[in-house]
Amino acid sequence: MKYEKLAQDIIKNVGGKENVNSLTHCVTRLRFKLKDESKANTEVLKNMDGVVTVVKSGGQYQVVIGNHVPDVYDEVTTIGGFQTATSEGTEEKMSAFNKFIDTISGVFTPILGVLCATGMIKGFNALFVALHILNNTDGTYQILNATGDALFNFFPIFLGYTAANKFKANKFMGMVIGAALVYPSLAGITAAPAQPLYTLFAGTIFQSPVYITFLGIPVILMSYASSVIPIVLATYVGAKIEKAFKKIVPDMVKTFLVPFFTLLIIVPLTFIVIGPIATWAGQLLGAGTLYICNLSPTLEGILLGGFWQVFVMFGLHWGLVPIAINNFAVLHYDPVIASLFAASFAQIGVVGAIIIKTKNKRLKAIAIPAFISGFFGITEPAIYGVTLPRKKPFVISCIAAAIGGGIMGSMGSVWYMIGGFGIFGIPSYLGPNGLDTGFYGAIIGMIVSFILGFVMMFFSKLEEEEAKEEKTESPLVKQEILVSPLKGDIKPLSEVKDEAFSKGALGKGIAIEPTEGKVIAPVNGVLTTFFPTCHALGITSNNGAEILIHVGMDTVQLEGKHFTPKAKQGDVVKVGDVLLEFDIKAIKEAGYSVITPVIITNSDSYLDVIETDKKAINYKEDLLTIMI
């Protein structure tokens, strides 16, 4: 119970468990709804070790913890006896891309652990055969093979469950759709010597024989045993149909009539429309990715190996996981993300060098367990705790991974199954031909990545990065403080009369109604953008935060009138430097609002952006806290 003491202190200082109406959490915050906020000891909580700050907003009392908030949440709910609630992270406003990533992760995350475990079993089974420890006719082999194959052969049933959970539908409805797709009698209809009734789309890439009809409508039967896209789409549509029936079916018969009508519609619809279209899309996707790999496997390996860790940081890897699984179903192997293993070994090579080089005891204490977990494929501790905060080691690991990935690509290394990660991933490269060139390419790529990462880091300077780490207040949470560039009254972005700002389309932040016509630099950095009309400027901090300060609404139409620049685009600025002066009275008399949004335009790159809880603010007072 790592966070037991912290959880006890939090419960005590929010007024005790009897003062809590409900508790949820998002990516960084515990979100309490308290009966009486005056009973909470806000200042005590703010100064508590393990708590970043406290925010009161939207009727919620928010205790900001950091990226380990799920662990703290578990302790708080256990000790407080609170009813476990669904995380609110998905309820917050998200861009279309983030919604897609959230959907993919929501469907695949619950099953990835078991998917990796069964893949490892299948991989080791293949290894035992290759080493002549087992024969593929042995009973031991057959049982292990069934264990390894079971999940993937009946994948639609499992994905039906997780997809229904994600789309807030009846989970068993999702499983029934998946089970129908792999129903043995239907799957066997196309087996020889059966002859099709006729063929649709003859002579095209979508040529499809028709063996059966449903109410006279042709049904294109396909193999859905290991498919991904059809069941996810079918469950999504099924969730919409179920929701519609819930509104019109009487409560007394809703329990059975809602699934009855939902399944009567969605299962035939899946076989007739959704399944074929989704399968064709999957086939095109698999063929497209294979085509790219065939153009230059080496280049593909370099790019994916080098950028895989970046993809993971920004959640982009979720867009590649379905492609890989789809390739297993269509091609029976995946050449796309096979190079990612180079990244794991490059990362631990860099961390290994840091362990030897550093004299910083705290850094060594973080790096040693990170190295061990990275050896088994869990690289997040190494990335977030060791290499990324120091930048140079992370870049070195990406370079080493790119070279190792290039080697793997050039030697034709592909995945034949989703297995374990790190050292446990080696059997995943064993195919029908056993120890072939692709398998040896994977081993060479991993070794080269590790050695290059180690050597490049060992002969690089680390002292500066260590010095920066010594200044970090907490090893659990890293943050950047943005001070106020204006003096005035604090306003939520929702009050800004411009949807680009009020709906968060441009990023998270806050607004200020200025009482003095001056803008100062809120961070040390570079004035990367200064609009010719002087009404808006952009600053990139030394830590990479991209800040937009937009003075007034529609003030671009003033064409620079009433604005006086005090700096120019490209200037290196320090906190407090005067960047702009403007005439508040004249701007208002011209009919324009002077409310000024201060936005972190790349806020999606951070865990959270926390606003001040002050009602009025002066220059250089803390305005926003960026959780890194």
Could you give the residue numbers annotated as active site? 26
Helices (runs of H) and strands (runs of E) counted in the chain: 21, 22
Supply the DSSP string of 235-293, one letter for each residue: HHHHHHHHHHHHHHS-GGGHHHHHHHHHHHHHHHHIIIIIHHHHHHHHHHHHHHHHHHH
- Pairwise CA distance, residues 214 & 264, whole Å: 12
Copy the structure tokens of residue 260.
């009855």
Enumerate the β-bridge partners of residue 217.
214
534 contacts: CB under 8 Å, gap ≥ 6: 560, 563, 564, 565, 580, 582
569 contacts: CB under 8 Å, gap ≥ 6: 527, 528, 529, 530
The dihedral built from the CA positions of residue 213, 219, 224 and 228, taken in this order, carries a sign that is negative
- Pairwise CA distance, residues 579 & 526, whole Å: 11
Closest CA to 334 of 397, 274, 287: 287
Copy the structure tokens of residue 550.
């937009």
Q: Given the DSSP bridges, would you call strands 622-627 and 479-483 parallel, antiparallel or unpaired?
A: antiparallel
- Pairwise CA distance, residues 335 & 408, whole Å: 10
- Pairwise CA distance, residues 403 & 396, whole Å: 11
Phi, psi of 560 (to 5 degrees): 95, -10
Output b/e per residue, 80-89; b: 16+ Cβ within 10 A: bebeeeeeeb
As a 3-state breakdown, the chain gives helix, strand, coil percent values, each rounded to 5, of 55, 15, 30
- Pairwise CA distance, residues 349 & 346, whole Å: 5
148 and 125 Cβ atoms separated by less than 8 Å: yes
444 and 413 Cβ atoms separated by less than 8 Å: no
Closest CA to 479 of 63, 93, 3, 51: 51
The dihedral built from the CA positions of residue 456, 460, 464 and 467, taken in this order, carries a sign that is positive
Neighbours of 413 (CB within 10 A): 29
Closest CA to 33 of 43, 41, 23: 23
555 and 608 Cβ atoms separated by less than 8 Å: no
The angle that helices 341-357 and 392-410 make with each other, rounded to 10 degrees, is: 140
According to DSSP, residue 387 is labeled: I
